[in-house]
Amino acid sequence: MEVGINDYIEAEHFRSICEDDYNVSRTCEYEFNSMHHIHNSCEILIIEEGVTDYYIVDEKYHLDPGDVLVIGSMHHHARNMIELPYLRYGLTVNPDYYRSFIFDSNLLRVFETPTVEDYNRYCKKISKEYFDHLVSLIRLLYDEQKSDISANPMKSQMEKALITEIAVTLYRAFRMNERRVIIDPYQEERMGKIRDYITTHYKERLSLETLSDIFYMHPSNISKYFHRYCGFTLNQYINTVRVYEAQKLLENTSLSIAVIAEEAGFGSVNNFIRQYKSLLKKTPERYRQEFRAFISASRSCVPIPMR
């Protein structure tokens, strides 16, 4: 099977990361470039060649061949390439999708960004057996993604089975049974509900006090457990969700900055610009210009086999 240097059209890939249940890719970068973005899908990177640093919520993760990095939903990340070519397999999975068939709270931990300490201890240079098995599962999932349901009965069931096996393989490769659980299952469930509420009500006025009233929890408990659960303070997560929604509008519409600020739930244009620049290190208008230039420049592809 032949795929391109980026085995997708960039605009379509950005859309699929945000909207599709899952997406499989195999990409190779032959030129140094930077990247800043946020998406609501979990992203799993399996590194074949090259060396790069990822910055996730301002923490540095150093990637070498044989490493596997998981970037949790809504975790802003940036990339700095060090050695080329940078060749990796990628899998993005929407949280609503994987939570619809994976129910074990321990297994769900696979889809969260590890701490830098856990990453360096468990996720670097995983065993060749696990690495090769992950690649084989990614290839099978890629084939399912591209297949026609008429020629592949039970397509949906096979996709879910493969993603579950990928999650179990990562759980074993990362030796997650050895890793400390930072929040009990009851509080984890409650924080998940608060996170989901923010994700769907980001346009409304949201504060610690309003969420405390809605979920019948003391504000201090929400603050404590939410940060443990998501790795964000409550306000950081609210602003991240709003910036993510604004990012999609900047990429896919020609709406004015003022209209986008309102649509994303920000109280003022100035606050929107300040929060956007704080997270993505550039103004909304600059992001839109660079995104359009990037899409225009990424039309040609060099075939690389999905082997």
Q: How many CB atoms lie within 10 A of CB 122?
A: 17
- The class level of CATH for 2-180 reads mainly beta
**Digitized pLDDT (tens) for each residue of the chain, 307 residues in all:** 344 445 444 555 556 666 799 999 998 888 887 778 899 999 999 999 999 999 998 899 999 999 999 999 999 999 999 999 999 999 999 999 999 999 998 899 999 999 999 999 999 999 999 999 999 999 999 999 999 988 889 999 999 999 999 999 999 999 998 877 778 888 989 999 999 999 999 999 999 999 999 999 999 999 999 998 888 899 999 999 999 999 999 998 999 999 999 999 998 999 999 999 999 889 999 999 988 887 776 544 444 556 5
Let me know if the fold of 2-180 is the same as that of 185-294: no
| Burial letters 45-75, b for 16+ CB under 10 A, else e | bbbeebebebebbeeebebeeebbbbbbbbb
Q: What residue segments make up the domains of the chain, in order of their start?
A: 2-180, 185-294
CATH H-level, domain 185-294: superfamily: Homeodomain-like (1.10.10.60)
Distances (CA, A) of 268 to 156, 237, 258, 272: 43, 18, 8, 6
The DSSP annotation for 44-65 comes to: EEEEEEEEEEEEETTEEEEE-T
pLDDT digits (tens, 9 = 90+) for 138-172: 999 999 999 998 888 999 999 999 999 999 999 99
* pLDDT tens track for 91-145: 999 999 999 999 998 899 999 999 999 999 999 999 999 999 999 999 999 999 9
Write the Ramachandran bin of 29: left for phi over 0, alpha for psi from -120 to 50, otherwise beta: beta
